[in-house]
A = this chain, B = another copy of it.
Amino acid sequence: MSQSDDLEPFRALLGATGVLTEPGMIRPYCRDHRELMEGATPAVLRPRTVEEVQGLVRLARSGGFGLVPQGGNTGYVGGATPEPGRRQCVVSLERMARIRSVDPLGFTLACDAGTILAEAQAAAAGHGLFLPLSLGSEGSCRLGGNIGTNAGGLQVLRYGMTRDLVLGIEAVLADGSLFSDMRHLRKNNIGIDLKQAFIGAEGALGIVTGVVLKLWPAQAHRATAWLQLAADAPVPEIAATVRRETADLASTFELISAASLALVGEMRGADPGLQAGPGGAVLLELQSSSARIPLEEVLLGTLEELLERGFLEDAVLAQSEAQRRAMWTIRETIPEAEKHAGGSVKHDIAVPVSRIADFLERGGALLAERLPGVRLSFYGHVGDGNIHYNLVVPPGEDRLAFTRAIEAGIAHDLYALAAELGGSFSAEYGIGRFKRDLLARYSDETRLALLAGVKNAFDPDGVMNAGIWFAQDR
């Protein structure tokens, strides 16, 4: 039977538009977002219903295909990219993007896993509610992918990671059966909370088809400031002071290095209009659903305290939505500015919040010694201990070659430093296919055996996204 005949049952199930095989059509699904890996697939499957997902899983088993679930394909670690040689069909959830319900009194939203994050945000907003998950890719990433990677983003400080927002999950398992746990409950203690296993599992335990998310009241009131940090400003102490003085109404505390700010200026060909202090800059935002909170006064008082303690050189309060947008745009365009400068090699570091200064100091010394000419762009969610620590590709150097050299070299020293400080080589991106070696290096045998054991409990034949976590099947 030829390969195309193998796909006939899928066409019968999903219709002609549900099975893509034309090379030009499937290429975008086969390539990871950062264009570091060119995958290969016999077909991209595009189900429209949960039943179709169940059917295609059964067909894949009987036809000997593996499956790679894919949402918006915006991941950074190759977790949704089919591996050449594995005969994996991509299962794109893009045609399952229905908002199922919004409950304004229960503060919940239920939707298909293929829903684009921004559309879920908009559905919540339409009911006077707020979905706090917010990422640079929110206009194209899909909730199933957010769940698979336990996405973090720009408002974790106050609202938590994706895990903290998930109340319910529905997923098709490797045998085609349905795990249905679409609860709208904040409390439900009935043994192991199995749905937790799918969060961060990068599609290796099943195909998530539906999700129930926690919502908040609409955050109609905001106060935003741009902080210029003094030399040697103690970032963890500033973050702690902000938490305390704002009663944890601070939703964003983003450190932006002077170098990252400079990259934004270079891309624009103009001064970005805001300066970093010697210690860098911080984008700080407070949110409130209540007009009864004097948010601007709270922010001003907090900034005054930070200024008095000598932590800041200056601070700028956004006086209008346009000024606020200008501050946010700087933060949001850093990845693009790195790309404009020739690309970057990204390190998604986490350390305990109290060790951030240690990491920055010792990481900087490492770079200065080993790669003196290379530009460092660091920024990120330091309120959560998460630093995006990126090395800009030097002018004239080949991006892929530079990436490989860094990842085979100094990256390991940076990860070792993070580990020494109690940190992690993957704060929010995940493992996928790019960090398999790091997972092996920084896990003991007990962890790896449990990981393989849980995988085996859900997917004994390795149908789901084989190749992530482990290069060789365990």
Contact = CB atoms under 8 A, between A and B. Distances in A.
Interface in A391-435: 422-431
Interface in A276-311: 288-290, 292-294, 297-298, 301-302
B426 A190 contact: yes
Nearest to A448: B191
A350 interface: yes
Contacts of A156: 186-187
Given A352-B103, A431-B190, A446 B288 contact: no
Interface in A177-231: 177-181, 183-194, 196-197, 199-202, 204-205, 216-218
Contacts of A179: 446-447, 450
A236 interface: yes
Given A150-B189, A197-B196, A292-B298, A183 B439 contact: no
Contacts of A458: 450, 453
Interface stretch (A26-34, A105-113, A266-274, A333-341): A105-113
Given A183-B424, A290-B244, A450 B189 contact: no
Contact of A191 (B181, B293, B469): B469
A387 to B, nearest CB: 10
A332 interface: no
B189 A240 contact: no
Contacts of A247: 249, 288-290, 292-293
A131 B190 CA distance: 25
A83 interface: no
19 contacts: A103-B354, A106-B353, A152-B189, A185-B351, A185-B423, A187-B386, A189-B428, A190-B424, A190-B439, A191-B451, A192-B204, A192-B451, A193-B199, A194-B451, A196-B197, A197-B197, A244-B289, A246-B290, A454-B457
A68 B70 CA distance: 42
A119 interface: no
A454 B424 contact: no
Contacts of A181: 447
Contacts of A290: 244-247, 298
A5 interface: no
Interface stretch (A57-65, A92-100, A158-166, A362-370): A158-166
Given A191-B200, A439-B190, A107 B240 contact: yes
Contact of A189 (B188, B190, B426): B426
Interface of A: 103-108, 149-150, 152, 156, 160-161, 163-164, 173, 177-181, 183-194, 196-197, 199-202, 204-205, 216-218, 236-237, 239-240, 243-249, 288-290, 292-294, 297-298, 301-302, 350-355, 381, 384-386, 422-431, 439, 442-444, 446-447, 450-451, 453-458, 469
Contact of A217 (B202, B248, B289, B442): B248
Contacts of A178: 446
A166 to B, nearest CB: 11
A125 B423 CA distance: 26
A430 to B, nearest CB: 5
A451 B192 CA distance: 7
Contacts of A187: 152, 156, 161, 350, 381, 384-386, 424, 427-428
Contacts of A425: 190
A245 B457 contact: no
Contact of A193 (B177, B188, B200, B428): B200
- 4 smallest CB-CB distances across A and B, nearest first, come from A453-B457, A105-B354, A106-B354, A217-B244
A245 B292 contact: yes
Contacts of A301: 292
B103 A454 contact: no
B185 A205 contact: no
A356 to B, nearest CB: 9
A170 to B, nearest CB: 11
Query: Which has the most chain B C-beta neighbours within 10 Å: A201, A205, A244, A381?
Result: A244
A160 B167 CA distance: 12
Contacts of A202: 191
Given A192-B201, A447-B194, A108 B352 contact: yes
Query: Which has the most chain B C-beta neighbours within 10 Å: A186, A244, A288?
Result: A186
A204 to B, nearest CB: 8
B427 A352 contact: no
Contacts of A104: 240
